[in-house]
Amino acid sequence: DYTRLASDIRRPLINHAISGLYPPGSTYKIVAASGALKYGVVLPKETIPCGGRLVLPDGWAFDDWLAEGHGPVNLERAIAESCNIYFYNVAGGNPYTDLPGIGNPQLASLQRKFGFGSQSGIDLPGEASGVVPTSDWKRNADLGPWVRGDTYHAAIGQGLVQVTPLQIASMYAALANRGRVMRPRLIDRILDSNGNVVERFPSQVRSTLPISESHLRLLQRGLHRAVNGEAGTGRRSRSAYTVVAGKTGTAEYSGDRDGQGRLPSHAWFAGYAPAENPE
């Protein structure tokens, strides 16, 4: 029985919430969006054209998920409709328009401030830290030099980025609670047999996101539109009971391609509710 469990490709003996490492896909685009605002790469209403593909001078092509492209896209719409081309531009820059982009050193720094690349501190054993890729990390892993395409992939939660589901949940909780990255906990308090409090475990703030309140509201509007907007990618997350804000993600991983040439992928959704007063 143990051999059967240990060899199961679904890894049932692993606590996937805290120890499973996965590419987060487009749920991760919020990090690049916050960096674009923080470092003034683009103005909130400034648009970037999306024609469905960005081909670099060396011939490498980077596609949007929508083959025909989204047309002119601003930040709020880029979040709502998950435009890859927008996030390639603001993260890694564009050699044709001289848009500088955030650059991977600053993008990686932001990823860490969102809680990635380190343990959350939850009171469970075996928590993984994940991977925030940098040029040094890639070189030490014998994966070659860092290239612009690595920054493009990192911005959309693909390539070398690895996170736990708990880290993604923690990021979206921080977006909902005015930028506070909390330490997750399982126990609120311990009671004796008479119902008296023996010990309390107060909430702890790990860090605060380095983005302004006005920028945070802009990110929140994008997440609201992703679920409730006419063209939002998260429309199927609408609820009759409350207003949801959130983000979808489709993260490819290595494996056999299907009949249409697509790699297998993880499907993600992360969000919070009620959108206006999150609980």
129 among known catalytic residues:
no
Are the CB atoms for 250 and 267 separated by under 8 Å? yes
Distances in Å between the Cα of 230 and the Cα atoms of 157, 224, 233, 236, 245 are: 24, 11, 9, 11, 14
Burial (0-12, 13-18, 19+ Cβ within 10 Å), 251: buried
Q: What residues have CB less than 8 Å from 247, skipping those under 6 apart?
A: 26, 27, 29, 30, 79, 82, 172, 223, 226, 233, 234, 269, 270, 271
Per DSSP, which regions of 183-223 are E strands?
Answer: 189-191, 197-200, 205-208
Q: Which amino acid is at 11?
A: R
Selected catalytic residue, list 19, 26, 170, 207? 26
Q: SS3 for 207? A: strand
Question: Which are the catalytic amino acids?
Answer: 26
